[in-house]
Structure 1
Amino acid sequence: MPHPYDTYDTPQILDRRQGPHGEVVLRRHGGLLQIIANGCFLMDTSDGRSEQLLVDVACDALSGRPRPSVLIGGLGVGFSLAHAAEDPRWGRITVVERERAIIDWHLDGPLSALSSRALADPRTGILEADLVRYVHETTDTYDALCLDIDNGPDWTVTEDNDSLYSASGLASCARVLTPGGVLAVWSAQPSSDFEGTLRNAGFQQVRTEEVPVARGVPDVVHLAVRPG
């Protein structure tokens, strides 16, 4: 007979996929859903405040621009997408996600409970693509670019993502932004070095917003504006 605490203490693997970037796992741990990539914990469904802050500060920084478009880098567990779709201020909402497994988990899997309403919104679209390559190659532009594909600029999930936070990568981010557009970058910890990199890349109004926590290092959102 199973131990009564097994449901809470032992993670249950719901799906495991081998993709072009390695292994991606969706598991349930108690009441939480968790995404693991190549053995590295990425995110779970415990607290979406920082992901919600990511899209809120970007929209607020656009200073009332009517129906702004937003590109969200990384679908994850869907907190950023769901929150953006709940906000009538946004116009076009596009999410770039490179892992087919994560997209499937939202379309017809366990994560659909978080994102089904957002995905049904006519403003919303998902692109299956690598964000780093996308910002280098696309001809589309957006009023806001919200990045949440790593644990932060100093703690990338894959080595290839390092270039996104360099001067050349940030130049590509600026290229997909409209004049006066906003770049918002989620991070598990503040990075003064990244603030300097943003300024050196030509961004203005660089600042960092923190999510209040009772103890420990807070999640933050680095915010910057492309010159008009």
Structure 2
Amino acid sequence: MSVLPTRQGLPEAEVIDRREGPYGEVALRRRGGHYEIIANGCFLMDTADGRSERLLVQAALDGLAAPRPSVLIGGLGVGFSLAYAAAEPRWGRIAVAEREAAIIDWHRTGPLGTFSAGALDDPRVEVLHTDLVRYLAESADRYDALCLDIDNGPDWTVSEQNDSLYGPAGLAAAAARLHPGGILAVWSAQPSSAFEQALRDAGFTEVRTEEIAVERGVPDVVHLARRAG
């Protein structure tokens, strides 16, 4: 393990695992009692507070009337969204798309399994080891909800490949993966009025944003929209 300098007065971070993959480097760090996922040097998420990740799933479910709706979660991350979905018996099929094999391993055999809470063993759950952007563009699958959390938001992507997800082509692909009336929920580290307008321009209806206050700085948000029926 290597030790990284302190950040903003927090304890030092230990690198538990670091791997090179087709999308660059991904690392798992432990800082005090929490774990952090870092992609190409960019902080993605940690296990300190999963409220907004849970809201991502709950807000989508609240917008659905269908019995046993299906949901695609992208990506797996620290597992908060998946664990929350698996704990809700109303969901039918639960798919999670994750492009990093390392993150899947950290849940199956590593310390992140504590946070996904055995959800990977739920018979409703299917782990798709795939790039979400490519999956949305090329798959023929359809879902009642898409709950997307692969970046720090539409205005702060982890890799250039993800930029297209939040533009016309990506939103058209997301709509194509939804049943009519389905819900698109997108996590972001900050509100984006430009993304709200992009959703409307793409034909989504009932566009709105829910906020979760954080300890410091702007709130985390979940952007929500419905595919026209």
Deviant stretches of 4+, over 2 Å:
212-216
Residue 189 of structure 1: aligned partner: 190
Residue 119 of structure 1: aligned partner: 120
**Equivalent residue for 2:14, pick from 8, 12, 15:** 12
Letter of the 1:135 counterpart: L
- Percent identity reads 69
Any idea what the Cα deviations from partners look like across 1:87-146, whole Å, max 9, x if unmatched? Answer: 111110000000000000001111011114211111111000000000000011000000
Letter of the 1:84 counterpart: A
Residue 63 of structure 2: aligned partner: 61
SS in 2 for 1:113: helix
8 Å CA contact retained: 1:54, 1:80: yes
Residue 48 of structure 2: aligned partner: 46
SS in 2 for 1:9: coil
Residue segments in structure 2 that go unaligned for 5+ positions in a row: 1-5
Letter of the 2:22 counterpart: P
8 Å CA contact retained: 1:70, 1:92: yes
SS in 2 for 1:129: coil
Q: 1:166 to 1:18 in 2, by over 3 A?
A: same
8 Å CA contact retained: 1:107, 1:116: no
TM-score by length of 2: 0.94
- Between the aligned partners of 2:15 and 2:151, the Cα distance in structure 1 is 22
Letter of the 2:28 counterpart: L
C-alpha deviation, 1:171, in angstroms: 0.2
Residue 132 of structure 2: aligned partner: 131
SS in 2 for 1:222: strand
SS in 1 for 2:45: strand
8 Å CA contact retained: 1:106, 1:116: no
TM-score by length of 1: 0.95
Residue 3 of structure 2: aligned partner: none
SS in 1 for 2:197: helix
SS in 1 for 2:118: helix
- Between the aligned partners of 1:199 and 1:221, the Cα distance in structure 2 is 16
8 Å CA contact retained: 1:198, 1:206: yes
Residue 87 of structure 1: aligned partner: 88
Residue 3 of structure 1: aligned partner: none
Any idea what the Cα deviations from partners look like across 1:31-54, whole Å, max 9, x if unmatched? Answer: 001100111111000000000000
Higher helix share: 1
- Between the aligned partners of 2:101 and 2:158, the Cα distance in structure 1 is 17
- Between the aligned partners of 2:146 and 2:36, the Cα distance in structure 1 is 25
C-alpha deviation, 1:212, in angstroms: 2.8
C-alpha deviation, 1:213, in angstroms: 3.6
Letter of the 2:16 counterpart: L
Letter of the 2:154 counterpart: P
- Between the aligned partners of 1:83 and 1:43, the Cα distance in structure 2 is 16
Letter of the 1:122 counterpart: P
The answer to whether the aligner puts 1:216 opposite 2:229 as a matched pair is: no
Any idea what the Cα deviations from partners look like across 1:52-87, whole Å, max 9, x if unmatched? Answer: 00000000011x210000000110000000000011
- Between the aligned partners of 1:194 and 1:38, the Cα distance in structure 2 is 25
Letter of the 1:97 counterpart: E
